[in-house]
C-alpha cells in the first residue's frame, strides 16, 4: 500500500489519545498469534489471485477494497473488480462468495477494508453515516464477511467514524471483527487514529500499524528511529502497547520490496521484532521493560505480492508465529 500521510488531529487531543485503555473481552475467531494479509481486488504488478488460491498461512484476510458509491454519499460498493475478473479468466461475485465460505469453513476470517492509498469514504454527515452503515451491513451479510478494516489515509472524521462502527457492530453482533491499519504518523501523539482507538477500545480486534512508507519516527523511549530496522518496529509498537492490550497489537510490514515504496525488511527482522516484543530478546537498541507474550501477530501488504515471490514472506513469518508462546 503506497502511503501518504493523513491529516493529524489537533494537538489538544493528545491527552485523550494517550489515555489508558481498559481491558475488554478478547477478539473471537482468531488464533492467538495470527497472520493477516490484504487480498487485492484490483490488478497491478502483483500476481492476481482468487480467494480460493490464498495461502493457508493466512488467518485473517482483508478484502481490499470497498469503493465509495458516487451516487450515494457515505455508502460503499463491493464486488469483483472487472479487470481482476478478466485477469482470472472470468472470476465472478458468486465465485468469490463461495470461496469466502470455503475459507471460513477452514477456520479463516475476513474483514472488508475501506480506504487504501487511493480510496476514501465521506463520513461527514449523519446521513452519510447512515448510508455507510446500511451499505456495509448488506455487503457483510451478502458475502459472509466477518467485519471491517479501517484504512482511511486521507483524513478521518473521528466522531462520525466512531458512530458508524458502533452502529455497524450493533447491527452485526458480538462476532464483529474490527481492524485498523493506521500509518505511523497517525498513531504518534496527536494522531487521529489514537482518538478513534480510544473511542472504540472495547470492540477493536487488532490494530496493525503500517511500519513502512514512513519517515523517521519517535519511539516510546524518546529516541528517533529510521524505518527498516528492528527498533523502528519495536519502539513504535511499544507506544501502542501503552494504550491497547497486547492481543490487540499487530505489526504491519510489506510482503516484498515491490509492495511498498520503502520500509521492506527481511522476514528475519520481523522475527527479531516479534522475539523482542514477546520475550525481550533479539532486540536492537530498544528493549521493552517487560515482554508481551500475548502480542497479536503480523499483517502484510499484500497476499498477492507474497504469492508473487512464492510465499517468501508468509512461509517464514507463519513458521515464526507458530513458535511464539
What SS3 state is found at 60? strand
Q: Half-sphere exposure of residue 310, counting CA atoms within 13 Å on the CB side?
A: 0
8 Å CB contact between 29 and 60: no
- Rounded to whole angstroms, the Cα distance separating 81 from 251 reads 28
- Report the DSSP beta bridge partners of residue 210: 183, 252
Match 519517535 to its residue by C-alpha cell: 218
What H or E segment, with its residue span, contains residue 192? helix 192-199
Query: Which sequence positions are flagged as catalytic?
Result: 153
Q: What is the DSSP string of 253-290?
A: EESSGGGSSS----HHHHHHHHHHHHHS-S--S---SS
Q: Is 252 exposed, middle or buried (0-12, 13-18, 19+ CB in 10 A)?
A: buried
- Rounded to whole angstroms, the Cα distance separating 139 from 145 reads 8
8 Å CB contact between 140 and 172: yes
Among the residues of the chain, which ranges form H helices?
A: 14-17, 82-87, 93-105, 126-143, 158-172, 192-199, 230-241, 267-279, 303-308, 314-321
The alpha carbon of 222 is separated from its chain's Cα centroid by a whole number of angstroms, namely: 26
8 Å CB contact between 197 and 175: no
- Rounded to whole angstroms, the Cα distance separating 299 from 62 reads 10
Amino acid at each position: 500500500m503506497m502511503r501518504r500521510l493523513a491529516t493529524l488531529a489537533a494537538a489538544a487531543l493528545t491527552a485523550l489519545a494517550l489515555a489508558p485503555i481498559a481491558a475488554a473481552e478478547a477478539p473471537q475467531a482468531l488464533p492467538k498469534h495470527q497472520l493477516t494479509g490484504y487480498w487485492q481486488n484490483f490488478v497491478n504488478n502483483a500476481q492476481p489471485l482468487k480467494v480460493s488460491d490464498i495461502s493457508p498461512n493466512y488467518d485473517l484476510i482483508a478484502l481490499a477494497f470497498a469503493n465509495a458509491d458516487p451516487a450515494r454519499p457515505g455508502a460503499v460498493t463491493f464486488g469483483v473488480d472487472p479487470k481482476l475478473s478478466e485477469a482470472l479468466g472470468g472470476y465472478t461475485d458468486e465465485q468469490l462468495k463461495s470461496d469466502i465460505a470455503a475459507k471460513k469453513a477452514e477456520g479463516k476470517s475476513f474483514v472488508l477494508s475501506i480506504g487504501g492509498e487511493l480510496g476514501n469514504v465521506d463520513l461527514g454527515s449523519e446521513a452519510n453515516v447512515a448510508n455507510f452503515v446500511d451499505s456495509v451491513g448488506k455487503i457483510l451479510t451478502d458475502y459472509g464477511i466477518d467485519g471491517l478494516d479501517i484504512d482511511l489515509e486521507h483524513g478521518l472524521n473521528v466522531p462520525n467514524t466512531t458512530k458508524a462502527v458502533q452502529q455497524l457492530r450493533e447491527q452485526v453482533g458480538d462476532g464483529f471483527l474490527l481492524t485498523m491499519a493506521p500509518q505511523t504518523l497517525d498513531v504518534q501523539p496527536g494522531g487521529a487514529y489514537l482518538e478513534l482507538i480510544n473511542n472504540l477500545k472495547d470492540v477493536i480486534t487488532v490494530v496493525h500499524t503500517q511500519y513502512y512508507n514512513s519517515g523517521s519516527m519517535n519511539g516510546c523511549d524518546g529516541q528517533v528511529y529510521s524505518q527498516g530496522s528492528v527498533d523502528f518496529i519495536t519502539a513504535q509498537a511499544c507506544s501502542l502497547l501503552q494504550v491497547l492490550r497486547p492481543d490487540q497489537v499487530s505489526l504491519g510490514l510489506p510482503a516484498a520490496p515491490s509492495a511498498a515504496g520503502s520500509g521492506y525488511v527481511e522476514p528475519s527482522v520481523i522475527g527479531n521484532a516479534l522475539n523482542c516484543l514477546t520475550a525481550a530478546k533479539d532486540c536492537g537498541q530498544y528493549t521493552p521493560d517487560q515482554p508481551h507474550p500475548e502480542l497479536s501477530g503480523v499483517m502484510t501488504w499484500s497476499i498477492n505480492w507474497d504469492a508473487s515471490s512464492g510465499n517468501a514472506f508468509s512461509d517464514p513469518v507463519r513458521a515464526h508465529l507458530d513458535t511464539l508462546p
